[in-house]
Each structure stands twice: as C-alpha cells, then as structure tokens.
Amino acid sequence: MAPTGGDAAYVGKRTLRVEDPRLLTGTGTYVDDIVRPGMLHACFVRSPMARARVLGIDVSEALQLDGVHAVFVASDLNPGVHEQWYTLNGRDNPDTPRPPLAEDEVRFVGDPVAMVVATDRYIAEDAAELVVVDYEPLPPVVDYATALDSAESVHADRPDNLVGRLGGRPMADLDPVFERAPHVVSQTLYQQSHGPVPMETRGIVAEYAAAGGEMTIWAATQSPHEVRSFCARLLGIAEHRVRVVMRDTGGGFGQKVLPQREDMCVMLAAARLPAALKWIEDRQEHLLAAGQARHEHGEARMALDDDGGILAATLDHVQDAGAYPTPSPVQSGIAVGMLFPGPYRIPEGTFSSRFVFSNTSGRVAYRGPWQYESMARETLLDTAARQLGLDPVELRRRNMLSREELPTANFNGMPYDHISPRETFEQALTMLDYEAFRREQVRAREQGRYLGVGTCTYVEPTAGATPFHATEGATIRIEPSGKVNVYVAGGSCGNSLETTVVQLTADSLGVAIEDVSTVQGDTAVTPYGAGTGGSRSGPMTAGAIAGTAGELRERIRAIAAHRLEVPVEEVEFVRGRAWAKGRPGEAGLTLAEIADIAYYQVHALPPGVPAGLEASGRYHTPHLMIWANATHVCTCEVDVVTGEVKLLRYIVSEDCGPMINPSVVEGQIFGGTVQGIGGALYEHLAYDDDGNPISTTFMDYLLPTATEVPVIEVGHVETPSPGPGGYKGVGEGGAIGSAPAVVNAVADALAPLGVRISRLPLTPSSVVGFVEEARTRQAVTL
C-alpha cells in the first residue's frame, strides 16, 4: 500500500521539524509552564528508610506554617480510589499493589507517606520538613538476587517476594542436547539498575471543577488517553468528564507511559481542593522514586557443535521489580525470554524469567525493556567464540539469519519476517573495515595498548498489536480556507510525531507541507489513541493517516471532477491543486476553492459527496507485530591503569524499512545508542546494603555528556514491512543494541589478560577490578 497521493514530496526527506521553532525560542509548553488561577503546589514527604512500620504521622506543625493548605496522609487519600488499573495492562490481568500513599509500612527510600499542599513549592518543602513520621525500622530486602530466599517479605501477602514467573518448556528437556554437545558455554552477567531519566522530571497539574464534575489535567505523559482513562477510573467519574492536555513533554523513554502513585495522589487531592494542584517532581525525587529498570541477571547457556553451529540455548533470567513496579512486570517481562534467540538459527532452547520484589524503587518501562535478551545472548556469543578459538564475527556468520531464510520462527515461536540481520551485520562490519581494525588491534597490543571491538545484532518487534495498541485514529479537517489540520492522539516526548504526521498528511493528501498543521495531545479534541511507546507511532499513525487522507482525497477529486466536468479518473490533484489530466495549463481548482464548494456551495457538490471536508478514520493493524533489526559495532581502547574505557568508533546499521524522515530516524538511533552507552559505562541507581540510594543527584547518577560519546555512524538497509508504507518502528532499538556492543568491545580489548566480565556497569574501578581478578586467577592456575 502506497499511502501517498501522487509523488512523495516530503516523506523520505530530511524535512525540518515543525516542533523546533517554539522549542528553540523557549516558547514550548511543558507541564511546569502551566499556571492556573490560585494554583497550589504539592510536595511529598518520603520515607528515609528502606523498610519500616509507620507508627504515626504528626502533621500539626506543618499545618501551622503560613501558606500551607493541607497535608494529606494515606487515610485521607487512599480510600478515594475507586478502581485502579492500566489500559495498557488490561483490567483482568494480575497486577501488583499500588497504594497512592504508604499505609502501614514504607517499602523503599522515597516511598511517599504524606503530601503537603501549599501556595508555592518553597513553602511546601518547608512544611514537608515539619511533618513528623514515627517509623519502626524493619529489615529490608535490598538485593533482589537473594530476595527469593529471604526470610523477610516486601509485601506480606507475597511472602516469597516472587511477583511471578514465566517460561518456555522445562530446562531439563534440553539436558540431553547439552550433555551430548561438543561445546557448552555458559555465563551469568549481572546488569545494574538504571533508568530512563528524561531531562524533564515527572509532573502533573490537576484542576477539578466540582460543580460540573469536570477534571482537567495537564501532564508530562506519553499517553494522554491512558492518563484520562486511569483518572476517570481512579476517581469514579465518567471518562468524558476528564480532559488531559499535553503539548510538550521533555522526554519519556517509557518512564511516562503510565501514571504512578504520586500522580494518583494529585488526582485524588485535586478533587478535594478549591484550585488546581501542581506537582513537579524534583531531580532528587526522580532518582529516588520515579523508578528503575534493567536490573537483572541471567544464566545464559549455549550448546555448540565443533564448527561453532549453535545447537541449543537457554536463559534463566531474574529481574528486580522493586517495591511498586509500574505496571506488573510479568506481562511485558516475557519478551526477554521470547527474544533471547535473536537473529540466529538456534534449533531449540527455552527460558525462565522470574520477577522479584525488593525494597527499592519500582521497575518502570525503559526504551527496549527486554534489552537483556541481547545483553545475555551477544555477550555469551563472544565468550563462546573465545572458548572455541573462533573470531566472534565468524561465529556469528555461521549462525545468523539472512533475508533468504525468511519467514522463519525462533524456538519460542516468534515469527520473523521482513528483516535483514545478516545484511546489517555485514554492512556495519564493512563500514568499520573489520579486518583493518583487527590488524590495528594486533599492532596496539604489541605496544601494550588494549583495543577492542564488539558487536550486537538484534531483532525487535515494533508496533505490537496488544488490545490497547492495535488501533490508532486520525481526523483530518480541511478548513474552508484550504488549510489542513490533522488530529492524532499524540504523546510525543521528542519523537518528532508532529513533523511525522504533517509529512505523512501532506503527501497522502497531495498538499504543500506549509498548509498542514497538527493538533495532538488533548483528549477533548483528538481521536482516541494509545500514545507513544512500543515503537508504534510511525507505522500506526501512517496507517491512520493513509486511510483517512485517502478518503478525503477521493472526495476532493470527486468535487473537482464535478466542477471541471471530467470523469474522476481524469483529475490530477498535486500540491493542493486539481486539474484535468493532460490539461495542466488550464484553470484548475485550488484546494481552497474545493473547500469553498464543500462548505458553502453544498448544492454544487456531486451526488453522494457529503458536505464539508473532514474525515476520521481508525487503522487496525492486521499484524501481530512489525519486525525491525539492526547491528551495532563499537570499538574502544581501555586504559588498564585507570580502567578508563574510551569509545573510538561507533557504527549502527539498521533496517527500519523506508524512512519517513532520515533525520528523525537517525536522531532516535543516536539517542537510544547513547542511553545504552550510559547503561554500559556510567549510569547506576545504586543502593547501599541498608537500602539507601546513593546516586540521587546528577553528581552521582552519571548521564553521558558530549565528551563521553563518540561520533555515531549510521548505515541503512531497507526491507519494507508488510505494514502501512512499509514502515517499521525505530524508537527503541538504539537502546537495545548499544550496551551489549560496548560490553563486548571492552571484553575483547581485555581478552589477552583473561578478563571475564560478570557485572555492569563497566566503571573504571570495576574494569580495574576485572583486570586484577584475571591476574589473580591466572596466577593461581599457573
């Protein structure tokens, strides 16, 4: 299906973004920019202990402070909860506990126990310091890895601390293969807790008009309609009485897909306050309580034959859910195991995943939430190559799928098609000149310098058809002046969704891009939609716009044909002008003239054509998912004295099908890649043994800066998907492929020293630790 009307004038081009002028001049509208009459400000009192019984809360002194409006505790707000579940997860799927404020027990440092409401945030913080909470400390369950064996429970009704488990066939089924295999390689790699950390923290403004029973919410969100449905259910008011507005959201990366406990508190409190209530999370709160991700380990095993052919693979995976995950990790968590086989021919295998409560910040979604499948597999492949004495590239070449072998399914039954793993792999290696790098590496080693190269090739399901995500709507209204507005649900957090939609609409209708504007992120105005997430916006909005614009385009041509007195088939409509085929010189009709007929000369419309030029459509994807793939290749130098890892070259070869806007595609890859680099080398939401977080400022939680990041080179391979326009999602992939490639590069650099990497992140001190450990190990064996 070609969703374009006439030539693609804008799709595929590096169209300048329509969002940029306002964002560059400081005139965007983020949630903290919202000011309402009499607006009040919230600040949370948070637990300083990882686990404690709450014996009492004294708010009297706080209430006496000038400017303090109210102090809410759990008994004030929690009974107001009517119904609490996420559309994304579904009503009937098992979920984890989620009280707005902590009740009898606090379960992590940062757990909200009270909410102060005051005339401004300064005073609210003063008052929060005056709230006295009487805690009785309890022994916390800090380390998820030992939580299953702990005598203590994070939630009393889950005594074993197990949120849930998922898996394929029994591990024991594979025993015969592993027993017979000439080579078995296994390793356990621990990945540290880190997270999305958008530059804009969480935030919400809620204003309730009691007389009319109307709630208006401004939120930093990826999914305004999810916020609306959630709020309506929470407060027990009708969905159409809730309006959620978001214009600009300062990054989401999965973190802002779902409302969390603090948002619930603001919604519940706003319904009882005379004015709007604003909560803007500060950075310390964010690093304490906005959630963590990627905190997991797994024992990965592979059986190989003498030629390096993979016979079987298994993964025994355990992930930290924290105290209050958003949502339950069990449903989405299965992806780690399902995708573990990756782009390789692996005849059989299985996995097990367990999700475990701990007294730490709750798990949230983070861009490519199943990234550990690649981390476990790709690092294991490099270990296998070293064990077998093969070059890791050669080992992959012997096992990696190429286009000709498709369609196929991995051993978990995931059906792969329209992907090009081997092609991206070869393209990336060519861009690097892999052989030349290996020669350089040999020379460097002779000089006592440690250079390394690492790769990661992955396949990724995008635009998945879960019930919430399977449809997307678009409304296109051509105004009487001929100017076009396209309405979609929105939820853009930097994903360039406005530009994407404008490009697609201009081409689908056949009008000039300057004549198209878009309205997004207001549930009162736009079609219903699930927002951004799951790398869905490109393919899904393309489907919605293609269908809706196609309908309008037919109407435009019918009106023009009627006026020009030619058959419809003879009407050309390009760049907002219609004329009879073969007679472009003759006076045709502009879109404004056609719109004038549609709105004001209804009698002149052809029979059967409705008045006006507005259409709405909803695309329902017939595809369970749309596969995308990429290869990341990274080279580095490691200083074995300080442990510093310096990235030298970074290459991504990707296949997202045809690109709607190459700048946007590359921008998504760049950003995701650097988040992965951060995860591999810098970022760590660390806790001490008592459950105290020790990286709650940007001086300790280290985001990469411009000097930690190399130039990223991008190559494109284009395999159209079966979806609209052949497009695929591209939002998440960069964050999947990068960390494993970096880890492999470091391991490769240090391979001559016998280094084995078992824990992340690869900080300078941990790299030195691995080098020392290898020296000790080898000294013992010698």
Partner 1 sequence: MADVDTVDTIEIHVRVNGTSRRETVRPRLTLADFLRVNCGLTGTHLGCEHGVCGACTVLLDGEAVRACLVFAVQANDAEVTTVEGLTGPDGQLSTVQAAFREHHGLQCGFCTPGFVVSVTAFLAENPKPTDEEIREALTGNLCRCTGYQGIVNAVRAAADTAGTAVTEGPA
Partner 2 sequence: MKPAPFTYHAPVDADEAVGLLAELGDEAKAIAGGQSLVPMLALRLASFGHLVDLRRLDELRGIERRGDDTVWIGAGTTQATVQRSDEARAAVPLLARATPFIGHFQIRSRGTVGGSLAHADSAAEYPAVALTLDAELEALSPRGRRTIPAARFLTGMWSTELADDELLTGVNFPVWKGRCGFAIEEFARRSGDFAIAGATVALRMDGDGHLDRCAIGLFGLGPTAVRARDTEAALLGSDPLEADAEEIGRSATEGLGSVPSDLHGSAPYRTRVGAAMVARAWRRAVQEALHG
Q: Which of the ranges 276-284, 287-295, 477-485, 538-546 carries the binding residues for partner 2, by CB under 8 A?
A: 276-284
Residue 768 binds which entry of partner 1, partner 2, none, with Cβ cut-offs from 5 to 8 Å by kind?
partner 2
| Cross-strand partners of 322 | 357
**Quick one: DSSP state of residue 299?**
E
The binding track of 663-692 with respect to partner 2, each residue x by CB under 8 A or -, is: -------------------x-x-x------
Length of the chain: 782
**700 touches partner 2 (CB under 8 A):** yes
Taking the least distance from each CB to partner 1, the nearer of 107 and 294 is 294
Q: Which is nearer to partner 2, 282 or 417 (CB)?
A: 282
Segment contacting partner 1 (CB under 8 A): 89-97, 259-267, 276-284, 608-616?
276-284
Helix (H) / strand (E) containing 435: helix 434-446
Nearer to partner 2, 235 or 674 (CB): 674
Number of residues that bind partner 2 (CB under 8 A): 30
Single-letter residue type at 701: Y
C-alpha torsion angle, residues 763, 769, 770, 775 (rounded to 10): 150
Instruction: State in angstroms the smallest separation of the CB of 130 from partner 1.
Output: 8
The closest of 19, 15, 4, 13 to 521, measured between CA atoms, is 19
- CA separation for the pair 196, 204 (Å, rounded): 18
Is 477 a binding residue for partner 2 by CB under 8 A? The answer is no
Q: Which is nearer to partner 1, 80 or 494 (CB)?
A: 494
For residues 672 and 735, is the Cβ–Cβ distance under 8 A? Answer: yes
Stretch that binds partner 2, among 312-320, 341-349, 381-389, 765-773 (CB under 8 A): 765-773
Q: How far apart are CA 293 and CA 311, in angstroms?
A: 31
Q: Which residue from 52, 44, 201 is spatially nearest to 129, judged by alpha carbons?
A: 44
Residue 694 touches partner 2, criterion: CB under 8 A: yes
- In 3D space, the residue among 619, 148, 77 whose CA is nearest the CA of residue 355 turns out to be 148
712 binds partner 1 (CB under 8 A): yes
Q: Residue 259: what residue type?
A: P
Q: Which amino acid is at 624?
A: L
Cα–Cα distance for residue pair 240/26, rounded to 1 Å: 32
Helices (H), 565-644: 591-600
Residue 257 touching partner 1 (CB under 8 A): no
In angstroms, rounded to a whole number, what is the distance separating the alpha carbons of residues 683 and 700? Answer: 9
Q: Which amino acid appears at position 268 of this protein?
A: L
Contacts with partner 1 in 45-84 (CB under 8 A)?
61, 64-67
Tell me how many helices (H) and strands (E) the chain has: 20, 28
CA 768 to chain centre: 33
- 424 vs 496, beta carbon nearer partner 1: 496
Which of 66, 707, 779, 780 is close enough to bind partner 2 by CB under 8 A? Answer: 707
From the CB of 632, what's the least distance to partner 2, in Å?
22
**What residues between 463 and 522 interact with partner 1 by CB under 8 A?**
493-496
Contacts with partner 2 in 94-153 (CB under 8 A)? 121-122, 125-126, 129
User: Is 763 among the residues that bind partner 2 (CB under 8 A)?
Assistant: yes
298 binds partner 1 (CB under 8 A): no
**Is 186 in a helix, a strand, or coil?**
strand
Task: Decide if residue 537 touches partner 1 (CB under 8 A).
Answer: no
Q: How far is CA 778 from CA 457, 774, 781, in A?
A: 32, 6, 5
Residues forming the site for partner 1 (CB under 8 A) = 14, 16-17, 19-30, 32-33, 61, 64-67, 122-123, 126, 197-201, 248-253, 280, 282-284, 493-496, 663-664, 666-667, 670-675, 697-699, 703, 705-707, 709, 711-712, 734
Residues forming the site for partner 2 (CB under 8 A) = 121-122, 125-126, 129, 282-284, 641-644, 682, 684, 686, 694-695, 697, 699-700, 702, 704-705, 707-708, 763-765, 768-769
